[in-house]
Structure 1
Amino acid sequence: MGNVVLVTGVARQLGGRFVRRIQRDPRVERVVAVDALPPEHPLGDADFVQADIRQPTIARVLAETGADTVVHLDVTGTALGSGSRSTVKETNVIGTMQLLGACQKSPAVKRLVIKSSTNVYGSASRDPAVFTETTPAKSLPSGGFAKDAVEVEGYVRGFARRRPDVAVCVLRFANILGPAAETPLAAYFSLPVLPTVLGYDPRLQFVHEDDVIEVLRIAANEPERGTLNSGTFNIAGDGALLLSQCARRLGRPTVPMLLPALTWAGSLVRMLGVTDFSPEQIRLLTHGRVVATDQMRETLGFRPGFTTAETFADFARSRGPGLLPPEAVAGAVDRLAALSVPGSALPAQSAD
């Protein structure tokens, strides 16, 4: 890892955790933590610089600190504090453009790590069963965070062509969950009742927030022998879960709705500020998304500590019991499934 590491997006829990983690690396002499808002959590011995990456001042910050490694975490789908969707988009896209422009002018920068998302693949009915890093999206995202991520990656590819001397690593994270997760899907799973799309049971993948911190650390490090810490990598825990399985494990009932009704309900809850039930999230909850992680293991050399199921279990424990005990939900679903099989019968009830 470089001697001076600059990290953006440190006002969020994920950014704060990463800043605290890399300070324990003996090869890091200084950590520069950047955000437009002061963080409410500790940053250890990092030097906090209050700066908006949408402004040209980020170039001065980069030049004055002499950072040789830049970890860009300020690419997100949710607003911080009282921020709006337009502010988030400007930070994602305009902020990334300003940061890349500053990196291009800085001869000290030798490594760049970008936090991206598997949202770049979109979610559509004609999607392949599993996306690889080179699979083109059947239908490019038309808005929201997914479109931001596509634009961000486009600017990063342009930067990589202009500065071939810089090692660029793009990490496409699956849905991030964990006890402290601040993501749209975490907000959705925290609802007392989960609205779903009638007739669909999508496959979902998750990555644990602890694994996110660890893979960011690996990507920001100088590569070990036999590995290459540059390129684009899907990051996800092993396996997948159906949305119905997630609901059962949370103990939360589902309300299947026709797609037009769910779209209308999503607009309503967004206006009420309950959760960010965006069109892209509705598409995910309709068609799902699963990605291959071979390159993550073979090239980047990272193996997650949590599977998708283990990640969701840890998240579920942090949210407490749902309206219905998970065992009761599971039992009811299993009985309904048994009734649909010819010749099957419900198990005999005990007299106790």
Structure 2
Amino acid sequence: MGKVVLVTGVARQLGAQFAERIRRQPGVELVVGVDLRPAPQLPPPQPGDPVADYVFAPVDLRRPAIAGVLAEYGVDTVVHLNVSATNPGAVGRASVKEINVIGSMQLLGACQQSAQLRRLVVKSTTGVYGATSRDPAVFTERTQAKTLPSGGFAKDAAEVEGYVRGFARRRPDVAISVLRFANLVGPGADTPLAEYFALPLLPTVLGYDPRLQFLHVEDAVEVLRRAALEPAPDTVNTGTFNVAGEGVLLLSQCARRLGRPTLPMLGPALGWAAALAKQTRVSDFSAEQIGLLTHGRVVDTTALREVFGYRPRYSTTEAFADFAAGSGPGLLPPGRLAAVTDRLADLLKRPPEES
């Protein structure tokens, strides 16, 4: 019998793309998609196309029913993607936290009782490192956060990682991969930071220009695929790994590439603007996102390349460029903005008598 892979969060972009990718892998016999909301239909296999069967189970992870799904289909690999900053259909922050934390606890409890389970992959975030003025220039997987996240998605992810470590002690026979993703970008990315960059005017923190890292959705799917399968020779795909495109971008560079003007604001004023944006559902601004837009965050990906054996296809700059190409035009088209900037630079270089 081939591998049976259960994927949580298949109603979201990342989950749907991963489910479609993994069912095309040799040795995979069945993919079970789990989500509370109806998931998009995956493309039907073409004649002669070696694609694994796919079934969708509308299960709320906060309920014990997930244990029955694991047992019914004989699941041996679980890929948990339903830990997210936002969950469509959830009402309020409390519901999102329940889905992230309580749902993960129920899932891990079911996994602990499953005798067939052999591999567990959990999507986490580099947000577990926090974003403060006391942070190191670059975080490695062993770096302890100076200040643990006090709320939001980052705190949820940190709690889930703690439960995963407890599960690992109780089930040492299960291979476990925890993947700390940088901010996901790409065509159709459905993340709070993508919503922020979609604003016509980008509010920023006065006096700060943070360094940011991005991960293209295609690279995220490929890393998940490799983590769900047996490791390639001379690689290890179990453990905790930072996953991000190489290089960094400043927030000001991101704004120029999108053609969107920035509005520098004092920290408290940005907090008020964030609350207004959240109330009007323009963007899901959170305290952790304000911290990121103030201090930034950069992680080391040496282990991803040298231990896990994968170098992302898209660098941070290339991933953001692909995202920008699929975004709507800004108030200041990048070409025109570059021309104005060059013109101002020429004027500043001229001697006083020529200006």
Fold agreement, TM-score > 0.5: yes
Amino acid corresponding to residue 26 of structure 1 in structure 2: P
Secondary structure of residue in 1 paired with 2:155: helix
Contact 2:243–2:301 (8 Å) recurs in 1: yes
Q: Is the 8 A contact 2:274 2:285 kept in 1?
A: yes
SS of structure 1 residue aligned to 2:215 = strand
- The 1:177–1:100 alpha-carbon spacing in structure 2 relative to 1, beyond 3 Å, is same
User: Aligned residue for 1:112?
Assistant: 120
From 201, 204, 207, the counterpart of 2:215: 207
**Is the contact made by 2:16 and 2:40 (CA closer than 8 Å) also made in structure 1?**
no
Identity %: 65
Alignment correspondent of 1:140: 148
C-alpha contact (below 8 Å) 2:195/2:283 kept by paired residues: yes
Indicate which of 250, 256, 266 corresponds to 1:242. Answer: 250
Specify which of 319, 324, 329 is matched with residue 332 of structure 2: 324
Q: State the match for 1:162 in structure 2.
A: 170
Q: How many residues align?
A: 346
Query: Is 1:311 paired with 2:316?
Result: no
Residues 289 and 5 of structure 1: is their aligned pair in 2 closer, same or farther, counting only changes over 3 Å? same
Secondary structure of 1:147's partner? helix
The DSSP-based 3-state class of the residue aligned with 2:326 is helix
Structure 2 unaligned residues grouped into runs of 5+: 45-52
Partner of 1:268: 276
Tell whether the 8 Å contact from 1:2 to 1:68 is kept in structure 2 after alignment.
Answer: no
1:319 counterpart SS class: coil
Aligned residue type for 1:237: G
Match of 2:179, as an amino acid? Answer: L
**Contact kept? 1:122, 1:146, Cα under 8 Å:** yes
The residue that corresponds to 1:99 in the other structure is 107
- Kindly indicate whether the alpha-carbon contact (under 8 Å) linking 1:79 and 1:85 is maintained by their aligned counterparts in 2: no
Contact kept? 2:4, 2:77, Cα under 8 Å = yes
Q: Verify: 1:233 aligned to 2:267, yes or no.
A: no
Report SS of the residue matched to 2:272: helix
Q: What's the secondary structure of 1:6's corresponding residue?
A: strand
**Counterpart position of 2:197:** 189
Deviations 1:297-341 (A, max 9, x none): 11111111100000000000101321111123234445667788x
Q: 1:239 to 1:264 in 2, by over 3 A?
A: same
1:78-130 deviation per Cα after TM superposition (whole angstroms, max 9, x unaligned)? 12145432221111100000000000000100000000000000000011000
SS in 2 for 1:299: helix
What's the counterpart of residue 216 of structure 1? 224
Which whole-Å CA distance do the structure 1 matches of 2:123 and 2:23 have between them?
A: 19
- Aligned partners of 1:347 and 1:252: how far apart in 2? 32
Amino acid at match of 1:162: R
Alignment partner, residue 61 of structure 2: 53
Amino acid in the other structure paired with 1:280: E
Tell whether the 8 Å contact from 2:257 to 2:321 is kept in structure 1 after alignment: yes
RMSD between aligned alpha carbons? 2.0
* Residue 84 (1) aligns with residue 89 (2): no
Following the alignment from structure 1 to structure 2, what is the Cα–Cα distance between the partners of residues 246 and 273?
Answer: 23
Counterparts of 1:47 and 1:22 in 2: how far apart (Å)? 13
Distance 1:348 1:290 in 2: 45
CA contact (8 A) 1:118 1:172 kept: yes
The aligned counterpart of 1:301 is 309
Distance 1:265 1:346 in 2: 43
Would the aligned equivalents of 2:124 and 2:181 in 1 still touch at CA under 8 Å? yes
- Name 1:40's counterpart in structure 2: 40
Task: Give the CA deviation at 1:17.
Answer: 0.8
Does 2:18 match 1:4?
no
